Amino acid sequence: MTGNRIDPASIREAVRDRYGRIAQQGGGCCTSSACCDDTCVEDPTQLGYTAEDLAQIPEEAASISLGCGAPVKLANLREGETVLDLGSGGGIDVFLAARLVGPSGFVYGLDMTDEMIALATRNAQKAGVSNVRFIKGEIEAIPLPDASVDVIISNCVLNLVPDKERAFREIWRVLKPGGRLAVSDIVVDGGFDDLLLSEEQIRAALSWTGCVAGALTIDTYLRMLQDAGFVDARVTVRYRYLSDNPSALPESLRVLPEEQQRALLSRICSADITACKP
């Protein structure tokens, strides 16, 4: 169950609108009123990158970090590899990956929001980075040929995609045999069955564009990756965002007993996800 009862086209429009506004404001997660606000962190070094990593890339890309982890650290990138970043935003992970794959490698950033593509392209031009290209498109229909990239990374984006099965099929299609997937994403660690409201009611009350309502459970994530053909799929919880923040629950979920509210909040996590295409 992925909250798909909500119309996918409306979700996509709401997501595009929200991230378009963030790109125009040029602010990071917590300086903006419109982003993955339920799961954002103030300082990108909390995601797993070091200050030294961030000093190597355009400042504007680091300062509009909207991620929930450090997929470039998970990906073990090698010189000469071709990388695709899904939902590249201002380009933070694209620029970090571009340094690791070097001039003989290449990094594509894919985003469906015009303003993000324009911002990231400006960042690349200003910094004179030539082994990157930002392309407009949706993850559910990636505008790249079959078996064309070595590694796919993504940072806090797949939870926002309404048709996740299609997204995983596309990820599989564009990866070369032997290719790798390294993703940071919001997941739900556990299920909803023990709670007094149904999963559907809970997801409907949570925010899609805030990166929570569309988050997969860990079991569903693993199953979808396996169904798409991936092997060695792993989901590792990094951080429980909301355990200490009861005010993160919308009013309509405060009808749950307090103990269940705490249980629900503690299940919303950022996780590292890796898998391989054999």
Ligand X SMILES: C[S@@+](CC[C@H](N)C(=O)[O-])C[C@H]1O[C@@H](n2cnc3c(N)ncnc32)[C@H](O)[C@@H]1O
Beta carbon nearer to ligand X, 66 or 100: 66
User: Binders of ligand X among 234-273, rule CB under 6 A?
Assistant: none
Stretch of 2-10, 82-90, 215-223, 225-233 contacting ligand X, by CB under 6 A: 82-90
SS (H, E, C) the chain: CCCCCCCHHHHHHHHHHHHHHHHHHCCCHHHCCCCCCCCCCCCHHHHCCCHHHHHCCCHHHHHCCCCCCCHHHHCCCCCCCEEEEECCCCCHHHHHHHHHHCCCCEEEEEECCHHHHHHHHHHHHHHCCCCEEEEECECCECCCCCCCEEEEEEECCHHHCCCHHHHHHHHHHHEEEEEEEEEEEEEECCCCCCCCCCHHHHHHHCCCCCCCCCCEEHHHHHHHHHHHCCEEEEEEEEEECCCCCHHHCCHHHCCCCHHHHHHHHHCEEEEEEEEECC
- Closest distance of CB 10 from ligand X, Å: 13
- Taking the CA atoms of residue 92, residue 265, residue 6 and residue 68 in that order, the dihedral angle to the nearest 10 degrees is 10
Question: Which residue in the set 41, 54, 62, 66 belongs to the binding site for ligand X (CB under 6 A)?
Answer: 66
Stretch of 112-120, 144-152, 188-196, 243-251 contacting ligand X, by CB under 6 A: 112-120
Question: Which residue in the set 41, 75, 84, 92 belongs to the binding site for ligand X (CB under 6 A)?
Answer: 92
Stretch of 81-89, 143-151, 242-250, 263-271 contacting ligand X, by CB under 6 A: 81-89
- Closest distance of CB 53 from ligand X, Å: 13
112 in contact with ligand X (CB under 6 A): yes
Question: Which residue in the set 87, 105, 210, 214 belongs to the binding site for ligand X (CB under 6 A)?
Answer: 87
Question: Which residue in the set 89, 105, 210, 214 belongs to the binding site for ligand X (CB under 6 A)?
Answer: 89
User: Binders of ligand X among 158-187, rule CB under 6 A?
Assistant: 160-161
- Taking the CA atoms of residue 175, residue 180, residue 186 and residue 190 in that order, the dihedral angle to the nearest 10 degrees is 110
Tell me the number of residues near ligand X by CB under 6 A.
Answer: 25
Beta carbon nearer to ligand X, 118 or 197: 118
2 in contact with ligand X (CB under 6 A): no
116 in contact with ligand X (CB under 6 A): yes
- Closest distance of CB 19 from ligand X, Å: 4
Question: Which residue in the set 2, 3, 19, 271 belongs to the binding site for ligand X (CB under 6 A)?
Answer: 19
- Closest distance of CB 205 from ligand X, Å: 20
User: Binders of ligand X among 133-162, rule CB under 6 A?
Assistant: 138-140, 155-157, 160-161
Residue 31 to residues 58, 73, 95, 121, 198, Cα–Cα distance (Å): 18, 25, 22, 22, 34
- Closest distance of CB 15 from ligand X, Å: 5
Cα-trace Rg, the chain: 18
User: Under the rule (CB under 6 A), what is the footprint of ligand X?
Assistant: 15, 19, 36, 65-67, 87-90, 92-93, 110-113, 116, 138-140, 155-157, 160-161
